[in-house]
Amino acid sequence: MSEQVSERRVGTAGEASEADEVFVALADPTRRQLLDVLAARGEASATTLAVVLPVSRQAVVKHLAVLGRAGLVRGVRRGREVRYTVRPERLDATARWLAGLAAEWDTRLAAIKRLAEADEPPRRS
């Protein structure tokens, strides 16, 4: 799947959906905490994460699955366990996507300004 997030709101339903996945994943405090811990440790297994965080291993696995679907973590099998690491690319892409939306508003505001200034009707006396 492409990591690129387009700068156009319109016509990028797939890419906007990718951004949505990131927003949903980050909206949960436990998942943000998971990312914090993973970022601090470099990598960790679900078992380790369950020891560090106040949630069950089962809950950790579910949260990792959400983060994985959002492209925010990657799991690599090491022997009997899976070690998870943070993937910054999707956050980066989401940042670019938002920056693109902001640029669209700049374009629209410029057009609004042109229209309002150019088409100003004669003042009533």
Partner 1 sequence: MALVDRIERETVVAAPAERLWEVLTRPEHIGRWFEGMQVELDLRPGGAMVLATEEYGKFHAVVEQVEPPRRFSYRWARHPDTPVAEGTATLVEFTLTPEGDGTRVRVVESGFTLTDAVKVDQQRHAEANRQGWLQVLDSLRRYGEQHAA
Binding site for partner 1 (CB under 8 A): 10-11, 13, 16-17, 19-20, 23-24, 26-28, 32, 35-36, 39-40, 72, 86, 88, 91-92, 94-95, 98-99, 101-102, 105-106, 108-113, 115-117, 119-121
Closer CB to partner 1, 46 or 86, in the complex: 86
What is the rounded distance in angstroms from the CA atom of residue 39 to the CA atom of residue 67? 13
Q: What are residue 78's DSSP bridge partners?
A: 81
Q: What backbone torsions phi and psi does residue 44 show, to the nearest 5 degrees?
A: -160, 155
Residue 12: other Cβ atoms inside 10 A: 17
Distance CA 72, CA 75 (A): 10
Token digits for 64?
Answer: 């990792």
Q: How far is the CB of 106 from partner 1 (least distance, A)?
A: 6
If the CB atoms of residues 65 and 115 are measured against partner 1, the closer one turns out to be 115
- Give least dist CB 79 to partner 1, A: 26
As measured in angstroms, the least distance from the Cβ of 65 to partner 1 is 17
Residue among 72, 73, 23, 66 at smallest CA distance from 45:
73
Shorter beta-carbon distance to partner 1: residue 79 or 118: 118
- Closest contact distance (angstroms) between CB of 10 and partner 1 is 5
